Amino acid sequence: MNARIIGTGSCMPEHVVTNDDLAKIVDTNDEWISSRTGIRKRCITDKDNTAGLSAKASKMALENAGIGAEEIDLIIVATLSPDYYVPSVSCMVQSEIGAVNAFCFDLNAACSGFLFALNTVNAYIKAGMIKNALIVGAEVLSKLVDWTDRGTCVLFGDGAGAAVVSASEEGGVCQTIVGAEGAKGMVLTCPGRSLDNMCAKEERQKGYISMDGQEVFKFAVKRVPQCICEVCEKANTPLEDVKYFILHQANERILFSVAKHLKIDNQKFPMDLHNYGNTSAASIPILLDEMNQKGELCRGDKIVLAGFGGGLTWGSALLEW
Ligand code: COA
């Protein structure tokens, strides 16, 4: 049995923040942000937290798939910005949508999270352990961003995307790759609580995202083409047979660089980062849903998904839609 995406959904907060809006709170401007990143605006939530956005995207994905919440066996939410340490976002989603028969857990592989979730669900389906899964990439990064740091606050946005993945005799995931390089993890961090217990005392850290942008950039432009080539080679599929390369929406320059490296036309690398910024684990399922709703994905199309980010982590998947 193959793991096949049979429905998608997404939820973007209504409140839009433009580059000009950000120029009012930090020393930046539209020209700097759009020329270095391609980002023009992002959505920032003023109401729903991570679980709320996830549940709305999930309901849409279930409707699009045409199956009931009680038919879902497993829910995985990929996020680095959960609402609580416990309960998990996935348990909160289960409760909100009424997926009473599902077991649930969250997964943190930062911006590669959706690929890690797909890889995990693929394994469960191949093992015959489940039939239907709901995977969600969801972030409210606005609660982890230092709004006085122009180096990071211009990059990120909030949102959620979801996909229903079901066991299918044809099509679906052909091959997946996931990887990590923990030794380079400190180039993109967001500290949690410091060690401040009955045995040890550390100075309390601020829990904001911090990043060595150039190191992350170098990592992405090297690792992403590698993992795309690897997944296609493993599936015996030439790059030319792939209709779309749907990559994590971090930065336009990273995507163009990957396209150039692979000698593939930019047109095959769809983008929506201009409107949403970097939504980490949510960016791939949001873009997938946009394309699905517009009818741009046809049965039998070969599609590569690729994520990269904090950890450092990366992942790719080749699927037949
Ligand atoms: N507006 C205006 N100036 C800014 C700015 C902003 N928002 N952010 C930084 N600058 C300034 C810096 O202070 C620095 O000024 P200085 O030369 O006077 O010190 C200058 O711009 C260059 O900063 P630098 O950090 O070297 O810029 P860069 O060319 O590396 O671009 C990124 C920064 C973040 C856009 C780029 O490194 C990048 O895209 N990295 C990948 C990040 C990413 O995608 N991460 C997520 C991956 S999942």
Reduce the secondary structure of the chain to three states and give it as a string: CEEEEEEEEEECCCCEEEHHHHHCCCCCCHHHHHHHHCCCEEECCCCCCHHHHHHHHHHHHHHHHCCCHHHCCEEEEECCCCCCCCCCHHHHHHHHHCCCCCEEEEECCHHHHHHHHHHHHHHHHHCCCCCEEEEEEEEEHHHCCCCCCHHHHCCECEEEEEEEEEEECCCEEEEEEEEECHHHHHHEECCCCCCECCCCECCCCCCCCEECHHHHHHHHHHHHHHHHHHHHHHCCCCHHHCCEEEECCCCHHHHHHHHHHHCCCHHHCCCCHHHHCECHHHHHHHHHHHHHHCCCCCCCCEEEEEEEECCCEEEEEEEEC
Between residues 198 and 72, the one the model is more confident about: 72
pLDDT at 196: 81
Which residue out of 119, 122, 278, 292 is catalytically annotated? 278
Instruction: For residue 159, report the phi and psi dihedrals to the nearest 5 degrees.
Output: 160, 170
Query: Exactly one of 91, 248, 251, 292 is catalytic; which is it?
Result: 248
Which residues in 269-284 are b (16+ Cβ under 10 Å) and which e?
Answer: bbbbbebbbbbbbbbb
Cα separation, 126 vs 146, whole angstroms: 42
In whole angstroms, what is the distance from residue 100 CA to residue 58 CA? 14
Going from the Cα of 253 to the center of ligand 1, the distance in angstroms, rounded, reads 12
pLDDT of residue 226: 97
Looking at ligand 1, which residue's alpha carbon is closest to its atom 38? 213
User: How close is the Cα of 151 to the center of ligand 1, in Å?
Assistant: 5
Q: Is 274 marked active-site?
A: no
CA angle (112 as vertex; 97, 25 as ends), nearest 5: 85
* Distance in Å, CA 267 to ligand 1 centroid: 26
Please tell me the pTM assigned to this model.
0.96
User: Which residue minimizes the CA distance to atom 47 of ligand 1?
Assistant: 309
Residue 26, pLDDT score: 97
Out of 43, 104, 111, 174, which one is annotated catalytic?
Answer: 111
Residue-averaged pLDDT of the chain: 96
Looking from the CA of residue 251, the nearest atom of ligand 1 is: 44
What integer pLDDT is reported at residue 198 of this predicted model?
86
Is 278 among the residues known to form the active site?
A: yes
Ligand 1 atom showing the smallest separation from residue 110 Cα: 48
Q: Looking at residue 313, what is its pLDDT?
A: 98
Write the pLDDT tens digit of every residue in 160-180: 999 999 999 999 999 999 999
Q: For residue 197, what pLDDT band results from cuts at 50, 70 and 90?
A: confident
Strands 41-43 and 188-189, by their bridges, are unpaired
Q: pLDDT digits over 203-255, tens only?
A: 777 789 999 999 999 999 999 999 999 999 999 999 999 999 999 999 999 99
Q: How confident is the model at residue 193 (pLDDT cuts 50, 70, 90)?
A: confident
